[in-house]
Amino acid sequence: MHNSQNGAAVVASIDAPASGGKGPLAHLLRKDCVGCHTNSVDGKTMVVSNGTTYPIVFNTHVPTENVLAGGNFYWVAQTGGDAFGHNVYPIAGVDQTLSRAPGSITCAGCHTSLATSDTGCTGCHNSVRHHGTVRYPNPENASSGWYRFLSAPEDTDHTGVGGAPVLGIEDPNWEHNADASHHNVYYGGVSGSNEDTASPESMGKFCAGCHLGFHSNGATFSAGGVNVNNGSGAPGNPWLRHPADFAIPTVGEYGDIIGTSYDPTVPVGKPMTTDSGPAPDSATGNTVQAGDTVICVSCHRAHGSPYADMLRWSYSEMEINTTGAGAGKGCFKCHSQKDGK
Ligand code: HEC
Ligand code: HEC
Ligand code: HEC
Ligand code: HEC
Ligand code: HEC
Ligand code: HEC
């Protein structure tokens, strides 16, 4: 009640947004984000306590069941683990290799590092509304915190620089046991449109808010150039970087796979009826084929993974003509004729 017992503080705040990261936690809470979303007992990634189910994003023991959709911070927390996830306060110290988000602008704080005490979880989860009004399946408004509480910072410091909240449809157990018909639906934007202006609420554009240069319509950044190289001002062949937020063709090698069955190990973005809010029926049906997009999270986990660069699968298994463990997975899910088939 007073954050005081026998004259000493009860909780040492590590992440209290309302008090700038210092002092007791907001809302009289005893635990912060990491406190509630960590499992330090075993490798389970969903924990039920007193009837409440906690989605676990950080296990201090190696996860022994499926990681949730965003992955897990376990690997980035290990010594030498920098490349395996976002270095997030207070789980992992500042990344020793990357001095800012690759592909990004430089501005102190979240674009430079998420491992400082004023950033952390709330560098990305900028609209946390655990008690929002309409939580599932598609919390498409501010009072419900948008998709997984993801948005640009709501404080006025960020006003005028753009950025948007994220739309999407939430799997009720965070893809703990996802399959072709139980999974999140990532909003992929309006196919063929300019993501920056027409569909800023897509998941791909959210990542690109901090990694601007790595998506199709990204602005130039210091590493030079964007994907636009075909003279028309539109993204396309020949590619300079792997496309992201780009419609997957329905013909050729892509036609073999895309649209037939959704694979949560290689998710794609889905078009939704309007940009002001996804239409649940058309989106959850997942019948839309033309317009599926390759997005950042087709290849990456948002939090971290057992693979370098937070990939969803082992890059070293992605050998051309392989009939081994990587066949049909990862890259070959889309580039379905490049493995040993
Ligand atoms: C008191 C414990 C507690 C604290 C503190 C807490 N969470 Fe949660 N969080 C939960 C529980 C329980 C759920 C699952 C039930 C729900 O979605 O409300 C959850 C769900 C979530 C989700 C998934 C939302 C969704 O749409 O399914 C996100 C994202 C999240 N929390 C982020 C955060 C962040 C960021 C913080 C710190 C600002 C935080 N949480 C602090 C207990 C907590
Ligand atoms: C709020 C800003 C921010 C957002 C949003 C963001 N990132 Fe990052 N990202 C960073 C920063 C800062 C780094 C460099 C430090 C680090 O690795 O933590 C980084 C690093 C990375 C790395 C390299 C990891 C490594 O250490 O080698 C990958 C891959 C990545 N981000 C992917 C993503 C994806 C995918 C998304 C969307 C789900 C995303 N990022 C959203 C800030 C952001
Ligand atoms: C770089 C941005 C970023 C940071 C930093 C970040 N998250 Fe997330 N988080 C995401 C994204 C994106 C998703 C949605 C993943 C998906 O649906 O694929 C997510 C999903 C979640 C979920 C729902 C479970 C799941 O995996 O879908 C919880 C809970 C959560 N985050 C908590 C946290 C906590 C706690 C922290 C700090 C320790 C944190 N996040 C830091 C981007 C971030
Ligand atoms: C609390 C974390 C945080 C801080 C601090 C922060 N940003 Fe951001 N910024 C974000 C996130 C998260 C996004 C991605 C939001 C989105 O696109 O939906 C973003 C996106 C952006 C974008 C891209 C917008 C777009 O439409 O593509 C710009 C530009 C930007 N920030 C500028 C800045 C500048 C300049 C500063 C320093 C004054 C700053 N930010 C500080 C979290 C932060
Ligand atoms: C088709 C798969 C794929 C897509 C889509 C993709 N990436 Fe990557 N990304 C990779 C691979 C593979 C690597 C590792 C490259 C290597 O090691 O040579 C990587 C590396 C990275 C890195 C680390 C760069 C560095 O300098 O260390 C960042 C950051 C990153 N990706 C962010 C993103 C963001 C943001 C998006 C969406 C705008 C995205 N990626 C889309 C496959 C992908
Ligand atoms: C979710 C689907 C998807 C995944 C996964 C994927 N790609 Fe792609 N890739 C595409 C699409 C779509 C294009 C653009 C096709 C076009 O321009 O017609 C593309 C284009 C490319 C190109 C450029 C080809 C050209 O003609 O310019 C290369 C190279 C490539 N991908 C390699 C990879 C590698 C390596 C991986 C794994 C790390 C990977 N892709 C994973 C969908 C995917």
**Does the pLDDT of residue 232 top 70, yes or no?**
no
pLDDT at 193: 59
- Ligand 2 nearest atom to the CA of residue 302, by list position: 38
> How large is the C-alpha radius of gyration of the chain?
20
> Atom 28 of ligand 4 has which residue's CA nearest to it?
161
* Residue 326, CA atoms < 13 Å, CB-side half-sphere: 20
What residues have CB less than 8 Å from 116, skipping those under 6 apart?
A: 89, 94, 109
Which residues surround ligand 4 with Cβ inside 6 Å? 105, 107, 109-111, 119, 123-124, 126, 152-153, 157-158, 161-164, 200, 205-206, 209-210
**What are the tokens at 12?**
């040492």
pLDDT band at 225 (very low <50, low <70, confident <90, very high): very low
CA 199 to centroid of ligand 1, rounded, Å: 26
- Whether residue 283 has pLDDT greater than 50: no
Does the pLDDT of residue 223 top 50, yes or no?
no
Chain centroid offset of residue 43 CA: 21
Smallest Cα–Cα separation from 311: which of 302, 301, 320, 322?
301
Protein residue whose Cα sits closest to atom 17 of ligand 5: 309
Name residue, tokens 């739309």.
167
- Pairing, β 38-39 against β 185-187: unpaired
Q: Is the pLDDT of residue 40 over 60?
A: yes
Task: Give the position, in ligand 2's atom list, of the atom nearest the Cα of 296.
Answer: 35
- Domain boundaries, given as residue ranges, for the chain: 1-30
Please write the tens of the pLDDT for every residue from 71-93.
999 999 999 999 999 999 999 99
Ligand 2: nearest atom to the Cα of 297: 35
**Least trusted range by pLDDT, from 67-71, 279-283, 322-326, 334-338:** 279-283
- pLDDT band, very low/low/confident/very high, at 233 (cuts 50, 70, 90): low
- CB atoms near residue 340 (< 10 Å): 13
pLDDT in tens, 123-159: 999 999 998 877 666 667 788 889 999 999 988 888 8
pLDDT attached to residue 291 = 65
pLDDT at 287 over 60: no
Q: Among 106-120, 234-248, 296-310, name the one with the lowest average pLDDT.
A: 234-248
User: Which ligand has the minimum distance to the alpha carbon of residue 204?
Assistant: 5
pLDDT at residue 315, as a whole number = 96
DSSP 293-338: EE-HHHHB-SSB-SSGGGBSS-GGG--TT--STTTTSTHHHHSTTS
Q: For residue 285, what pLDDT is reported?
A: 34
Pocket test for ligand 1, best of 37, 114, 125 (most atoms within 8 A of CB): 37
Ligand at shortest distance from the CA of 93: 2
- Comparing 175-179, 249-253, 267-271, 275-279, which segment has the lowest mean pLDDT? 275-279
- 263 vs 290, which has greater pLDDT? 263
Q: Using a pLDDT cut of 90, give the percent of the chain over it.
A: 43
219 alpha carbon – ligand 3 mean position (Å): 25
Of ligand 3's atoms, which has the minimum distance to the CA of residue 170?
Answer: 17
pLDDT, tens digit (0-9, with 9 covering 90-100), for 237-254? 667 778 888 878 877 888
Closest CA to 11 of 1, 20, 50: 1
The per-residue pLDDT for 144 is: 86
Q: Is 27 in the pocket of ligand 1 (CB under 6 A)?
A: no
Pocket of ligand 5 (CB under 6 A): 102, 204, 207-208, 211, 214-215, 242, 244, 294, 296, 298-300, 309, 311, 315
User: Which residues, other chains included, contact 40 with Cβ-Cβ below 8 Å and sequence gap of 6+?
Assistant: 59, 60, 61
| CA 57 to ligand 2 center in whole angstroms | 16
CA distance 73 to 71: 7
78 C-alpha to center of ligand 1: Å? Answer: 24
Mean pLDDT of 314-319: 94
β pairing state of 246-247 and 185-187: unpaired
